[in-house]
A = this chain, B = another copy of it.
């Protein structure tokens, strides 16, 4: 029984209700805001704050959190390079579905390798992949860097596993005068981008 032999019975099904109709219902445009950054850089903080700011404007978003998905969809994956790649591929595929459903999908995961992020970008047509990069000084709210530096966590991104910073991301969030911006200010930068690009109307 081969995959190839069966591939003849896998057809693409067109739905009569498409992305345009769903966007009209929601009065917004589906897209993916992909938040990348080191552990502790504030990805979840930004994701939650962005979700709230959008909700207050009546917009529907959904957060795909890399850590949460490892409890469900990606629970069969570990942290070897190929598992990290597969982890991100699956999140990219699911994010694409959410964008197609008309939602503003907020993907929040370290996604350390540029080639993996770029593969997700390539899945999304029409500039609907918006990479938001957090360049905030390393915080350590969970005490993980300390453990990693002591060798108690192996394969920790930024310590003994590489992180490729984005080269041309749509949104960069940096410290201002050595201070981390407030969550609502970080979210505001993304909302302004989405507004300017027309994502907050159909």
Contacts and interface: CB of A to CB of B under 8 A. Distances in A.
B90 A73 contact: yes
Contact of A3 (B22, B39, B78, B156): B78
A24 to B, nearest CB: 9
A25 B64 CA distance: 19
List of 3 A-B pairs having minimum Cβ-Cβ separation, nearest first: A3-B78, A1-B155, A73-B93
Contacts of A72: 93, 96-97, 123
A101 B16 contact: no
Contacts of A156: 6, 9
29 contacts: A1-B78, A1-B80, A1-B155, A2-B78, A6-B155, A8-B153, A9-B39, A9-B142, A10-B70, A10-B71, A11-B67, A13-B47, A13-B48, A13-B108, A15-B47, A15-B48, A15-B51, A15-B65, A16-B52, A25-B60, A26-B60, A62-B97, A62-B100, A72-B96, A73-B90, A73-B97, A76-B86, A94-B94, A101-B103
A162 interface: no
Contacts of A60: 22, 25-26, 60, 101-102
A94 B73 contact: yes
Contacts of A8: 147, 153
Interface in A138-174: 142, 144, 147, 153-156
A63 interface: yes
Interface string A1-37: 1110110111111011100011001100000000000
Contacts of A47: 13, 15
A197 B17 CA distance: 24
